[in-house]
Structure 1
């Protein structure tokens, strides 16, 4: 299990490794903030079909049969970033990253859980969720520190280091025994859809919450590094990377702290904290205060952790074992739809009215959607409980 835990951590580390470099790419390739947001959009557009199409293949071919090609694809994707001389190479690399994470994440998590002693199953589930969240934040944190303080090529060194870690992942996975018996006779089916009996709670509360959560987190990873440099005039590239790491770390810790709290309560507090954090972040622009920005990201981290714990927990609560894969897939599709739509709109608004006002529009939109979610939670609680 330790080898798979390490592979999960270091693989997910690469998904947002490029985030602190976005201001440098803007200078090197003459890219706008809207262009940078499209990089994140491409990642999500490739990730969603990858989750839906590649995930079910692991039930036919085995876990490692999907994990190993995904690691190799991530090596290729990281290579595109390390040796990029044109903007299109960044977009190709980002698309490959989306495909790779979609094939790797579910299969590696499943293999981890299948190798866990039944007595430790609940701990393994929490560990997998925590590791994934921290890994996605550790990437920009590590990259920011490396490009700011290590006197090596900032466009190559973080990615070459990640390629080395991926090769170690490959060795670790090859040494792990396959736990799933491949079945080519099993029917290939995309696990998407919501059974009729749970459509109301899912579409009224759970899906909007997933949309809400990913709408902010996606925008943060796409545009916070640019916000730090262009609006706050902070040119220490480690700053944005560490902020994104803390966003995910606090989100992971927040989930652990509320493990036994009512899911509706957690979800509602997640909505409230996310809205508050969004306005605190916007207020960092006129005050030019790194402390306000830091405070806003900490509040957002708690909000994101609560939202994920509450909404994902409710998705599991309303589903039977047979329905779970369908509902989980639909949950992530709703979430990444929020990411795609919001990043696209905020990118367009940035070109039209500037990054600060684009973030203000996002905060207002989150407030309105948050009110809808809080109202829906009151209506749905009696249905689920």
Structure 2
């Protein structure tokens, strides 16, 4: 073994575990903070809905770039240095938005935000699990996922509330986030390091994520399902506020942020409700629940109904949570132990492609069709993808023999 992990039982106190979850959530808050503010940037700078999706997509490009070249760097350098690097990128991103004077700093801020998320996605998840005391070990993976998803959801909610009801709508959210990040940095500095090397530290070499041949039969449908689920997230964290303003007449930024928050909160509920359901059954179920949510989202655009949009966001979020946790569990269980990290990174690469590519397509379509019709096309395509994967997976589930057979 290249390193020796400390046993969480050696740390009877729970504060490092809770502190790591807080740090994880704070960084993820920063990645979605601009969501309800894009309309204000459009008014200030002057750009199209397509440019909104491109600005959003460069975030995903930053995440993917880090996952591709540095997915396992914390196994060599340790968790704490990588967490500190991610916090540094998050703070730099906030400063870019704080002093923005046009598109260049918006792009720079989103790229740096992507770097922070890429550094945290795997490292913080592992850190939370390693720092969990023995009596919370069984819930540690869910705690890490909840910190991730609720952090993503709290970003739009925080920015929407501050932009709507406080001064400096394009400055105050980032000042607040810098304060939260400063607290997170102090906590990270005193977190116990869980990586110890028995001998000389291994050389740090970039390792591109790949999928072992024996894992591909599970990986392909699970990753495609994650692609569809994250595409829904991409829609809500990029152009959903514009949909609400232009199609539904909702101009309150706090309401826009709340709707996005409910989507991520519902994902957390979906992941928690997985319970003891086998992954091979939870994955197709999540796909079908996602289809139902997407149908409601499309219906809300046709009927111009905010209530239907909220219902669709919640249902789609639950479906995404089910399929995401089930897919990740299935891929991790099938992957060889010595390649689990890179296989998981490959899974996240596909997921983050889903959060970027489709929304750019929506932005491009909106120039020709308008946001409403572009949203309908997106909903239909995502429904076909998720439904097809659900049917494929359902047919692959082994049938239980009948009693007496």
TM-score by length of 1: 0.94
Please give the residue correspondences for 1:101-180 in structure 2 after superposition, counting only pairs within 5 Å.
101-150=117-166, 152-180=167-195
- 2:48: which partner in 1? 32
User: Between Structure 1 and Structure 2, how many residues are aligned?
Assistant: 381
CA distance in 2 between partners of 1:382 and 1:189 (Å): 39
The answer to whether the aligner puts 1:185 opposite 2:212 as a matched pair is no
- 1:62: which partner in 2? 78
The alpha carbon displacement at 1:54 in A equals 2.5
- 2:39: which partner in 1? 23
CA distance in 1 between partners of 2:365 and 2:311 (Å): 25
The alpha carbon displacement at 1:118 in A equals 4.2
Q: CA offsets, 1:5-36, max 9 Å, x none?
A: 21112121111001010111111111211110
The alpha carbon displacement at 1:317 in A equals 2.6
Query: 2:361 pairs with 328, 334, 345, which one?
Result: 345
The alpha carbon displacement at 1:159 in A equals 0.5
Please give the residue correspondences for 1:167-246 in structure 2 after superposition, counting only pairs within 5 Å.
167-181=182-196, 184-186=201-203, 188-190=205-207, 192-203=209-220, 205-246=221-262
- 2:12: which partner in 1? none
SS across alignment from 1:26:
helix
- 2:298: which partner in 1? 282
Moved more, 369-378 or 348-357: 369-378
The alpha carbon displacement at 1:278 in A equals 1.6
CA distance in 2 between partners of 1:225 and 1:245 (Å): 12
On the 8 A contact 2:226/2:320 being kept in 1, the answer is: no
On the 8 A contact 1:60/1:184 being kept in 2, the answer is: yes
Structure 2 unaligned regions, length at least 5 = 1-16, 400-405
On the 8 A contact 2:281/2:394 being kept in 1, the answer is: no
- 1:335: which partner in 2? 351
SS across alignment from 1:56:
coil
On the 8 A contact 2:160/2:254 being kept in 1, the answer is: yes
The alpha carbon displacement at 1:270 in A equals 1.6
Relative to structure 1, the CA distance from residue 115 to residue 149 in structure 2 (aligned partners, 3 Å threshold; closer, same or farther) is same
The alpha carbon displacement at 1:279 in A equals 2.3
On the 8 A contact 2:86/2:117 being kept in 1, the answer is: yes
Please give the residue correspondences for 1:252-271 in structure 2 after superposition, counting only pairs within 5 Å.
252-271=268-287
CA distance in 2 between partners of 1:149 and 1:312 (Å): 39
CA distance in 2 between partners of 1:179 and 1:311 (Å): 27
Relative to structure 1, the CA distance from residue 105 to residue 309 in structure 2 (aligned partners, 3 Å threshold; closer, same or farther) is closer
Q: CA offsets, 1:234-278, max 9 Å, x none?
A: 111111100111110111012112211122332222212222222
CA distance in 2 between partners of 1:291 and 1:372 (Å): 28
Greater than 4 Å deviation, 4+ residue runs: none
The alpha carbon displacement at 1:379 in A equals 4.5
CA distance in 1 between partners of 2:245 and 2:369 (Å): 18
The alpha carbon displacement at 1:283 in A equals 2.1
- 2:89: which partner in 1? 73
| CA RMSD across the alignment | 1.7
SS across alignment from 2:71:
helix
- 2:370: which partner in 1? 354
SS across alignment from 1:188:
coil
The alpha carbon displacement at 1:2 in A equals 1.9
On the 8 A contact 2:295/2:383 being kept in 1, the answer is: no
SS across alignment from 1:14:
helix
On the 8 A contact 2:297/2:379 being kept in 1, the answer is: no
Query: 1:296 pairs with 283, 304, 312, which one?
Result: 312
